[in-house]
Structure 1
Amino acid sequence: MTLRRQSREEGHTRKFMVVIDETTECERAVYYASRRAQRTGGKLIMLYVINPSEFGHWIGVETIMRSEAEHEARSVLGEYSERLRETVGIEPEAVIREGARAEQVRALIEEDKDIAILVLAAGSGQDGPGPLVSEIAGRSSADFPVPITIVPGTLSDEDIVALA
């Protein structure tokens, strides 16, 4: 169910959302979304989703693996945040969730009514746009709660600055 966004109401700010992962194109999505947020007076929210299927071990091992995954997520989000403060001059919001990526993306958008646009980047290789782009922009896009911007993974920083 799509609920009304509040990003244009008094006391609210439009947020651009990106999903942080290990893909090479992720950086393109982050850079584009941060430049759009900067240019339009919006904010950036970065979501890092931890895959719980990696923790299917004994309780002690599962606890250690979950802790390591959370540490890695905080580290990656911290690196992006620092880089964005230095290069773009914005302070992004960082969120860590556990679960299936597409489900967590939708859940966060439904919870945060200020999220107005999801920014993804398409892979530039022969494997297609990537699994997240395929899943979200594919069959589930018809009832997705916000517009989806797909950034070509081959765009340079200069291209992104010109387009954002």
Structure 2
Amino acid sequence: MSQPDRKWKFLVIADDTPEFKKVLRLAALRAGKVGGSMVMLHIIPPADFQHWVSVRELMEEEARQEAREMLNGFVHEVETLSGMTPEIVIRPGEPREVIAEYIQEDQDVHLLVLGAAVDGDPGPLIRIFREELLGVCHMPVMVVPGNMTDEEIDKFV
């Protein structure tokens, strides 16, 4: 049974891929239309450099700063499209683990929105979902084809 006081919350995995721009547009417009909200989860992969802890920590901090800068641009885009300010979450780790943990933590998330690449390979997020997250993700998942035009997205929402 639906709870009337709960608003739709869309979870998007924010990265710098071309297909993410389509996900961002669709999720922002749709969440804005239904009076929902959006959280952008950016995942920093584990650093390969393991020799010195201080060097690894510096690399992780640089990755966090780069992620913040990228996400700030996305926040501006979401605000322009929908008038809402999305929540930003930056976490280090393996994508499959970070996504599963976040979904378990944030019980307000109603929909996971993923982007599919268009070059014949659906991309790493779709593979992770299909192979590992399908069993732990108890919510609808929307896959946005990376070849959708802005006009097609606008018609959809």
- Return the TM-score normalized by structure 2: 0.91
Instruction: Within 5 Å, give how 1:58-137 maps onto structure 2.
Output: 58-126=52-120, 128-137=121-130
- The equivalent residue for 2:16 is 22
Q: Is the 8 A contact 1:37 1:43 kept in 2?
A: yes
8 Å Cα contact 1:44-1:92 kept in structure 2? yes
TM superposition shift of 1:143: 4.2
Cα distance in 2 for residues equivalent to 1:64 and 1:139:
31
Q: 2: CA distance between counterparts of 1:155 and 1:122?
A: 10
User: What is the one-letter code of the residue matched to 2:72?
Assistant: G
* Residue matched to 1:141: 134
How many pairs does the alignment contain?
A: 157
Within the alignment, does 1:39 sit opposite 2:33 as a pair? yes
What CA RMSD, in Å, does the superposition of the two structures yield over aligned residues?
1.8
Equivalent-residue separation in structure 1 for 2:119 and 2:86 (angstroms)? 29
SS of residue paired to 1:13: coil
Taking a change above 3 Å as real, the CA distance of residues 70 and 139 of structure 1, as seen in their structure-2 partners, is closer
Q: Which structure 1 segments of 5+ residues have no match?
A: 1-5
Unaligned ranges ≥5, structure 2:
none
Residue in 1 that maps onto 2:151: 158
Is 1:51 paired with 2:45?
yes
Structure 2 CA distance, aligned partners of 1:91 and 1:161?
19
Q: Could you tell me how far apart the structure 2 residues matched to 1:111 and 1:160 are?
A: 30
The 8 Å contact of residues 16 and 45 in structure 1, kept in 2 or not, is answered as: yes
Aligned-partner residue type, residue 125 of structure 1 = D
Give distance in 2, aligned partners of 1:129 and 1:45: 22
Counterpart of 1:111, as a letter, is E
Is the alpha carbon distance of 1:95 and 1:140 closer, same or farther for their aligned partners in structure 2, counting shifts above 3 Å?
A: closer
TM-score, normalised with respect to structure 1: 0.88
Alpha-carbon contact 1:110-1:145 (below 8 Å) kept: no
